Amino acid sequence: MIAVSEAVKRVLISDGVSPRNVTVVPDGIDLDEVHRAAAAPLGIHGRLGLPPGAPVAVNVAALVGHKDQRTLIRAARAARDLAPDLHWVVAGEGELRSSLEREIADLGVGDRVHLLGFVSAVDALLREGDVLVMSSKQEGLGSVVLHALALGKPVVATRAGGLPEIVPTEWLVPVGDPAELARRVVDALGHHPPVPFPQQCTAVAMAQAVLACYRSLA
């Protein structure tokens, strides 16, 4: 059995799978393909009517409970005083869209949080954004994080699932903590030294690891 992260492996073991039967092979992406896909302009500022140069925090995830966009919306409210010009863009669809729209209205952040729905040009969106934000309660690894890192973007994420395996410790926040999420996102806007891409997460590395796993069974 192949798990995409040590976190997933731990879950499998807790469910009764023998550790000997689980091999960790992280998701892998083609860096050149990501850069090619990101090259096409999306024009997110113009599309949303944002001021030129306004900072944009991006979340790419289905609108479902374990992605916890409620915490992200509350972080947007907490960030108002810290970065008044910061906008939060959420790309994804799901069963919680209506309740998230109500949350946005109730907190008075409709001018700062933008639900885009499904976006096919994710890499272009990441390139035009300033920071990727992951507010998840659970996450196998977080393939969109790999895309952001490939594009040289900072990532602020919760300590959920496999995220700590690819996001530097200083950019991790507790699950369900909007104030800390807001603070670190604002920090990332002003100071984000380049994060080396994890070489075990390239498409070639993944293919080699899967092949080695199959060969071990021969």
**For residues 75 and 175, what is the distance between their CA atoms, to the nearest angstrom?**
12
**Per the structure block, which two tokens stand in for 105?**
């209205």
- Considering only the top CATH level, what class is 30-207? alpha beta
Which of the four pLDDT bands, split at 50, 70 and 90, describes residue 194? confident
Q: Which of 170, 51, 70, 81 is nearest to 115 (CA)?
A: 70
- C-alpha angle 68-131-80 in degrees, rounded to nearest 5: 70
Please, are residues 138 and 163 in contact by the beta-carbon 8 Å criterion?
no
Residue 190 pLDDT class (50, 70, 90 cuts): confident
Residue 22 burial (CB count, 10 A): 17
Q: Which residue has the higher pLDDT, 194 or 205?
A: 205
